[in-house]
C-alpha cells in the first residue's frame, strides 16, 4: 500500500500551533518589534514540487492509490501541473521570493525501462529549464536523473548542470530497490562532487519493500513515519558505505528536519565502536551529518525541532522549504518568521544558505 501524503497533515498542523506558542514565549515582544522588518525578509523555498501531465506513464495509477480525500488530491494535482498563475499567486501572497522546483514523486524512479527513463529525464529537465529561464528571479530547479542507467545518469547530470543551469538533483529514495551506496552509482557521486552540486534525497511514494510492523496501519507507511525511517536509513547507508570518505566534497540534502538524523547523532556515535572493522569510517557518523548533509525544514513546522536541528548541525546547514503544494505556504512561512532567532541567523535559514549552497 502506498503511504498517503495527507496522512501527516493534522499532526503537522497541531505541531505548527504548538511551535508558534513556544516561539511566542521565547521571542516575546522582540518578535513584534521586528515584524515589519521580518516581512521584508527574502525567502527561498527549496523543496517545491511540480509535474508534467503524462510524462510518466505509471504516474496516474500511483496517484489514484494515494491515501487522501479526493478533493485534496485534485487540488494538489491542479497546483503541481501549474508553473505560473496558481504558484506565483501563492508565492506572492506569502512572501516567497524563490521556489527551487523539483519533479514530484513518484518520479522517474518508478520507470522500469532504462531507455525510457533516459528519454523522460531529458524531457523533464528541458521543461524545467525552460520554466526557470522564463522567470529566473522566481524559480530555480533540481534535475531528475535516469539512475536506472548510471552511465547515462552521469551524462544527463553534466548536461542538466552545465548546459541547462539546474542547481542539483532531487532523487526519490530508491530505483527498483537499489540504493545509492551501491558500487554502480559511484560515477554519479564523482560527477556530483566534480560539479559541486548537491543531491536532495527525497522519500519514495512506493516503498522498496513491505515492513510487517506497518501491517494494518497505512498511516505509518507514508509521511507520518515510514518515509522518514526509510530515507533516513538510506542516508546512513551512504555514510556507512563510505560514499563521503571516497567523495568528501559530495553532499546530500534531507528534508523533514534531516529525516530526524540530527537528533540521533549522539546515539550513532556512541554505538560506532561496535561497527565491524570492514565498515569503519574515517570519522564518527556525526562528522558526516555536520559536513556532508544539509537539513531542510519541509513539513516540520516545529520551533523545538528547528532549534534542535540547528544546534546539532549548525545554522549554516539548515535551509527553509515548504513542500508546496502538499503543505501550506502560509503556515510554513509563519513558522519561519516567528522562529526565535537573531535576524542574521534567521536570514541564513530563510535564504542565505540556499543561495550559497545552490549558487542562486
Q: Which residues are catalytic?
A: 323
Give the closest residue to 168 by CA, choosing from 88, 91, 101, 116: 101
Triad 188, 182, 258: Cα angle to 5°: 80
- Three cell numbers, residue 174: 530508491
Reported in sequence order, the residue ranges of the chain that DSSP labels E, i.e. its strands, are 44-50, 98-103, 139-141, 168-172, 198-202, 252-254, 293-296, 318-319
Cβ(188)–Cβ(223) below 8 Å: no
Tell how many helices (H) and how many strands (E) occur in the chain: 18, 8
Q: What is the DSSP string of 83-121?
A: SSHHHHHHHHHHT--EEEEEEPTT-GGG---HHHHHHHH
Phi, psi of 343 (to 5 degrees): -55, -40
Cβ(51)–Cβ(18) below 8 Å: no
Q: Is 200 left (phi over 0), alpha (psi -120 to 50) or beta?
A: beta
Give the closest residue to 199 by CA, choosing from 137, 243, 242: 243
Give the closest residue to 228 by CA, choosing from 261, 198, 195: 261
Q: How far apart are CA 82 and CA 359, in angstroms?
A: 25
How crowded is the C-beta side of 238, counted as CA atoms within 13 Å? 28
What secondary structure letter does DSSP report for 153? H
User: What angle, rounded to 10 degrees, do the helices at 114-134 and 150-158 form?
Assistant: 20
Give the closest residue to 201 by CA, choosing from 172, 165, 236, 233: 172
Across the beta sheet with 168-172, what order do the strands follow?
A: 168-172, 198-202, 252-254, 293-296, 318-319
Amino acid at each position: 500500500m502506498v503511504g498517503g501524503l495527507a496522512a501527516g497533515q493534522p499532526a503537522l498542523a497541531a505541531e505548527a500551533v504548538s511551535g508558534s506558542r513556544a516561539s511566542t514565549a521565547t521571542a516575546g515582544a522582540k518578535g513584534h518589534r521586528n515584524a515589519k522588518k521580518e516581512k521584508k525578509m527574502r525567502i527561498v523555498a527549496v523543496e517545491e514540487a511540480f509535474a508534467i501531465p503524462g510524462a510518466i506513464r505509471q504516474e496516474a495509477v500511483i496517484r489514484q492509490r494515494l491515501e487522501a480525500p479526493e478533493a485534496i488530491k485534485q487540488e494538489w494535482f491542479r497546483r503541481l501541473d501549474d508553473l505560473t498563475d496558481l504558484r506565483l499567486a501563492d508565492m506572492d501572497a506569502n512572501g516567497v521570493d524563490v521556489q527551487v522546483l523539483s519533479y514530484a514523486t513518484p518520479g522517474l524512479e518508478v520507470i522500469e525501462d532504462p531507455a525510457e527513463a533516459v528519454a523522460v529525464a531529458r524531457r523533464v529537465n528541458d521543461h524545467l529549464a525552460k520554466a526557470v529561464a522564463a522567470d529566473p528571479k522566481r524559480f530555480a530547479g533540481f534535475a531528475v536523473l535516469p539512475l536506472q542507467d548510471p552511465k547515462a545518469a552521469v551524462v544527463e547530470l553534466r548536461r542538466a548542470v552545465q548546459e541547462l543551469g539546474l542547481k542539483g538533483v532531487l532523487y526519490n529514495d530508491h530505483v527498483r530497490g537499489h540504493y545509492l551506496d551501491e558500487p554502480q552509482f559511484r560515477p554519479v557521486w564523482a560527477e556530483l562532487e566534480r560539479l559541486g552540486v548537491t543531491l536532495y534525497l527525497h522519500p519514495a511514494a512506493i516503498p522498496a519493500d513491505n515492513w510487517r510492523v506497518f501491517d494494518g496501519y497505512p498511516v505509518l507507511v507514508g509521511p507520518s513515519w515510514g518515509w522518514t525511517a526509510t530515507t533516513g536509513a538510506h542516508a546512513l547507508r551512504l555514510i556507512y558505505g563510505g560514499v563521503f570518505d571516497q567523495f568528501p566534497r559530495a553532499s546530500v540534502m534531507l528534508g523533514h528536519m534531516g529525516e530526524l538524523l540530527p537528533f540521533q547523532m549522539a546515539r550513532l556515535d556512541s554505538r560506532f565502536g561496535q561497527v565491524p572493522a570492514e565498515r569503519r569510517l574515517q570519522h564518527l557518523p556525526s562528522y558526516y551529518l555536520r559536513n556532508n548533509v544539509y537539513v531542510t525544514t519541509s513539513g516540520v513546522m516545529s520551533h523545538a525541532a528547528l532549534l534542535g536541528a540547528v544546534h546539532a548541525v549548525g545554522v549554516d546547514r539548515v535551509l527553509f522549504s515548504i513542500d508546496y503544494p502538499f503543505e501550506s505556504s502560509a503556515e510554513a512561512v509563519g513558522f519561519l518568521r516567528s522562529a526565535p532567532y537573531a535576524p542574521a541567523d534567521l536570514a541564513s535559514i530563510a535564504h542565505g544558505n540556499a543561495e550559497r549552497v545552490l549558487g542562486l
